[in-house]
Amino acid sequence: MNKKIYDVIIVGGGVIGCSIARYLSRYKVNGLLIEKHSDVGEETSCANSAIVHSGYDPLPNTRKAYFNVKGNKMMEEVCKELHVPFIRNGSLTIGFNEEDRKTIENLFSRAKSNGVDARIVEKEELHEMEPSLNDECLCALYCKNSGIVSPFELTIGFMENAMDNGFELNLNEKVEKIIKNNELFEVITNKGEYLSKTLVNAAGLYSDEILSNLEKPSFKINARKGEYILLDHFNNDWCKHTLFMCPTKVGKGVLISPTTSFNYIIGPSNDSSSKEDTSTDTSTMSILKETAAKLIKNIPYSEVIRTFAGVRANPDNDDFIIEESKTNPGLFNVAGIMSPGLASSPAIGEYVSDLIKEKLKLEKNNNYKSKRKEVLSLNSLGIDKYNELVKKCPAYGHMICRCEKVSEGQIIDAIHRNCGAKTVKGVKKRLRAGFGKCQGSFCEEEVCKILARELNVPLSSILYKDEGSEVFKYKSKGNNYDE
Amino acid sequence: MMNNKFYDIVIVGGGSAGLSAAKKAFEEGITSILIIERNNELGGILNQCIHNGFGLHKFKKELTGPEYAYEYIKFVKDHKIEYLLNTLVLSIDKNNKTIVCSSSENGVTSINYKTLIFSAGCNERTSGQIMTPGERPNGVYTAGLAQKLLNIDGYLVGKNVYILGSGDIGLIMARRMKLEGANVIGVSELMPYSNGLNRNIVQCLNDYNIPLRLHNTVIKIHGKNQLEGITICDVDDSLKPIKGREEFIKCDTLLLSIGLYPFNSMLKNSGAKVNNETKGAWVDQNLETSLDSVFSCGNVLHVHDLVDYVSDEGEIAGKNAASLVKNGRKKYSKIILTFHNENLSYLLPNEIKVYDDLNEVNFSFRVKKPISKGEILFKDGNNIIKKVIKNDLIPSEMVRIKLNDIDYKVVNDLKVEVNEL
């Protein structure tokens, strides 16, 4: 039997894998992305600070510095094309004493070497810019190009756009073995076997393990857990910039930042952990609160809607690993993409896709569409245009999520797109239904019913996230409805 | 521009408070009433409360939730009071006295009101809000959501159930899941006393041998994708977990009954003053908020223990909104602010407008901790206006006192004290 031979298989559907897929789809390519979870962007890409760093922090002449600065520049255009929320809100890296001032001056010259627009602001201006700040905040490095993005929608936007241009996506499929078979890579998963000319290892936390199928890894990925506190959108003026703390011998401190949905995020902690451990704990939360109080006193913790943790892939060499394997030509390792990985993601995607294009001598895809279909909402359209939409499709008038004002029409659209929502969490990540203060206790039931209807599957099969997380688990004694 | 629809009274929320307000306003002679309900039927949360125990005060009989709601829904339908279903109110414009709402039938539309009654109910607190440590798998539900999935949709969320919090919905769901064949392992309550009604402790836990652990809480949630278990732990007097008193419990479901809070964000966003203790609106004795002609009642104002009391409060709002429509705004000579001592967790109303014909004010409050023998004092400065002796005051039960035999014109401040005797 003649098996289909892919030009490229990407292992891992985080923001990096999806970005590479998107930029590869600019070329005529037979591409497949394999992701073990029920959706893309389920690990580090969905539990991070959601910051598009300006690029002042990485040491000059590192890959981190290069891709961060480039990715930051690309982000505005990318987010416009993909309809992903992005705001250049600017960052303030805050110093509290004269020693910090020296550090900030050093960071300022580092920013200059990296080509980042930055300036130092003094106390009076600083407090004008950010009136909630604690009085002890003395000065800051201001980087106006720093931004915030929805990491969920960026990852999904990349993948949807790649699929619009012909890229394939296999979800719920775990890579179990990879063999180099003559010039081809044979990827064996729990569901099938695939052949490919090239292979991209974008497996995040597990990239060293994936690589060990083919060769002795030259790097090791250490897991570092970051815990966060998320506040409701209680007041859009409370904190406008991303507030970092000046790094000291003790550590990097924590950040406080608005998100693109005007929630506020506080964190992260930074502790060694196992790759699977995304649990939060009370003592870390206390430390976060204590540290964040240096930036803003009296943080309204009555507005907390959730705590969460993400695990970051820290490589032992401390820089991004983006290279073709010497032992196995055609294998591209894109690993150790810790912070500022989110900011760097479009630049990494473009760069890696061009390496593969050169390798395989790929032709330009003349039908390539860089734009993703618009994500419609009452906010983006305004009442009059939205009402025209409701006339055509009444489901847009039926509001399902009352905290975040998400309509049935939007949910239906999110389900039927390429890389569409298949789970409750999938709907949440795409539209914020269930993201509000009630955390889905009002809309989860209706979201499940819409998913079942639109996917034409029984209600009892609808998952919260991965396999085994059915919401409507068992029928009650009196339930005799046929599905 | 098309002319907006206009009503004398627009009611946001067709649950027990809104329905009762509509009935009362109609009885007071107002016919231009519109109820806006987000769900596909009137009745609100009562529809999923299929247990009995409702209506003992209001109807002197024991009804189920849907039966209780039907008493009001029938009135609304018989008297052709207008209502919109599947319609969510998105915002309130206090300056133009307009609300914006959305539905499939009408799209996003504006409706003008002369008076507005805000009766949107409450939300359940979530594990996120109390920052429960551990993972975030499927299988952790608020008790009310699990109730809806079971009683409305016919599905059980799990078969090995633990319950955090002894609020009434949690207790009711403990019995309900047991009756459906689930293994209900136990209930943990952080406080040294239960937060539910006594009758529910007896009828829902004791009768089914479901243990209630007081001064105990969940300190870790286990399981990445689906809940695999929880760690519970005894807490000390400052409610901190005690080392060495942890216990792992294997379960696939954790139901949360850890409190309710008014779903008041829309009123707050429209500029209404908020009562920081209830998180509901700041109201006067007529239940009018700080927004002109906007009233608030029911669980969106403060969380009630009994639906009968919600209905009573709806009547107060309905009656006063009707009076404002019919008679216009009356003059008042002054505003008395109300205060309370440390033994109360909150007090309503927040202010009293002293009209010429003012003779009755309904106070409601809850105590912070159980008080077995207490005196309730209404004071103006050091001057005791009224004293009520009441026994067995507990935080889970709301206290209501009607004060109609005092001359409010001579009162400066009004302070309510509860003291243990």
* Coil, helix or strand at residue B179: helix
* CA distance linking residue A53 with residue A148, whole number of Å: 8
Distance, in Å, from the CA atom of B308 to the CA atom of B316, rounded to the nearest integer, reads 13
Are residues A270 and A393 both part of a single domain?
Answer: no
Q: Which residues of chain B have pLDDT under 70?
A: 1-3
Same domain, A278 and A415: no
CB under 8 Å to A375, separation ≥6 — which residues? A83, A153, A410, A413, A414, A430
CB contact under 8 A, B108 and A280: no
- Residue A181 has a pLDDT of 87
Indicate which CATH number applies to the domain containing A404.
Answer: 1.10.10
Alpha carbon distances (Å) from B377 to A140, A188, B343, B359, B403:
55, 77, 12, 19, 12
8 Å CB contact between B93 and A411: no
Kindly state the greatest CA–CA separation across chain B: 69
Residues A278, A239 contacting (CB under 8 angstroms): no
Measure the CA–CA gap between B390 and B22, rounded to whole angstroms: 33
How far apart (Å, rounded) are the C-alpha atoms in residues A131 and A278?
A: 34
| Closest chain B residue to A303, measured at CA | B129
- Contact call for B108 and A306, based on CB within 8 A: no
Evaluate whether B281 touches B267 at the Cβ level (below 8 Å). Answer: yes
Closest to A65 (Cα-Cα) out of A19, A111, A120: A111
From the number of C-beta atoms within 10 Å of its C-beta (0-12, 13-18, 19+), residue A46 rates as: buried
Look at residue A57 and tell me if it is in a domain.
no
Interface of B with A in 212-241 (CB under 8 A): 219-221, 224-226
Scanning the structure block, which residue is given the tokens 């180099």?
A180
Q: Span B126-258: which CATH code? A: 3.50.50.60
Q: Are residues A141 and A237 in the same domain?
A: yes
Length of chain A measured in residues:
483
The pTM of this model reads 0.96
Angle among Cα A309, A46, A164 to the nearest 5 degrees reads 170
Which chain B residues are Cβ-neighbours of A459 within 8 angstroms?
Answer: 153, 155
Specify the higher pLDDT residue, B2 or A67. A67
For residue B391, the cross-strand partners are B373
Cβ-contact B200, B166 below 8 angstroms:
no
Chain A residue at shortest CA distance from B89: A402
The overall average pLDDT reported for chain A is 96
Point out the domain boundary residue: A264, A288, A311: A311
Q: Verify that A299 and A408 share a domain, yes or no.
A: no
Report the C-alpha gap between B145 and B209 in whole angstroms.
24
Do A267 and A126 fall within a single domain? yes
Residue A97 inside a domain? The answer is yes
A235: pLDDT confidence band, cut at 50, 70 and 90? confident
Task: Return left, alpha or beta for A474; rule: phi > 0 is left, psi -120 to 50 is alpha, else beta.
Answer: beta
Q: Which of residues 270-329 of B touch A (CB under 8 A)?
A: none
What is the three-state SS of B302-324?
Answer: CCCCCHHHHHHHHHHHHHHHHHH
- Chain B residues touching A406 at Cβ < 8 A: none
Same domain, A382 and A307: no
Residues of chain B positioned with their CB less than 8 A from the CB of A460: 155
Q: How many CB pairs under 8 A join A and B?
A: 150
Cβ of A474 within 8 Å of Cβ of B153? The answer is no
Type of residue found at A237: D
Backbone φ, ψ for residue B64 (5° rounding): -85, 170
Q: For A314-443, where are the alpha helices, taking DSSP H only? A: 341-360, 378-381, 383-392, 408-416, 424-431
Residue-level pLDDT at A481? 66
Looking at CA atoms only, how far is residue A477 from chain B in angstroms? 6
Q: Check if the beta carbon of residue B254 is closer than 8 Å to that of residue B221.
A: yes
Confirm whether A455 is domain-assigned: yes
Q: What is the pLDDT of residue B1?
A: 42
With CB atoms and an 8 Å threshold, state whether B149 touches A445: yes
Q: Give yes or no: A83 in active site.
A: no
CATH of the domain at A289: 3.30.9.10
Helices (H), A114-188: 123-129, 151-164
The HSE-up count of residue A99 (CA atoms within 13 Å, CB side) is 4
CB contact under 8 A, A282 and B134: no
Residue B95 CB burial class (10 angstroms; 0-12, 13-18, ≥19): exposed
Contact B265 A472 (CB under 8 A): no
Strands A221-231 and A264-267: antiparallel
For residue A133, tell me if it sits in a domain: yes
User: Which residue of A278, A398, A479 is in closest CB contact with B104?
Assistant: A398
Q: What are phi and psi of B291, to 5 degrees?
A: -85, 135
Tell me the residue type at A363.
Answer: E
pLDDT at res. B395: 92
Are residues A143 and A231 both part of a single domain? yes
Give the domain extent around A134.
85-147+222-311
| Cα(A293)–Cα(A314) distance, integer angstroms | 28
**Does residue A395 share a domain with residue A291?**
no
Are B129 and A230 a contacting pair at CB < 8 A?
Answer: no
* Fold annotation for B1-124+259-329: FAD/NAD(P)-binding domain (3.50.50)
What are the chain A neighbours of B274 within 8 Å (beta carbons)?
Answer: none
Quote the pLDDT of residue A483: 52
Query: H helices within A217-376, ranges in order?
Result: 282-292, 341-360
Q: What confidence score (pLDDT) does residue A3 get? A: 83
- In this predicted structure, what is the pLDDT of residue A169? 98
Residue B183: the pLDDT is 98
Q: CA quadruple A292, A296, A299, A303: dihedral positive or negative?
A: negative
CATH 3.50.50.60 in chain B, residues? Answer: 1-124+259-329, 126-258
The token duo for A480 is: 């005799």
Residue A455: in which H helix or E strand, if any?
helix A444-455
Based on the structure, what is the number of domains in chain A? Answer: 2
Task: State the DSSP code for B406.
Answer: S
Which residues of chain B are within 8 Å of residue A440 when distances are taken between CB atoms?
A: 145
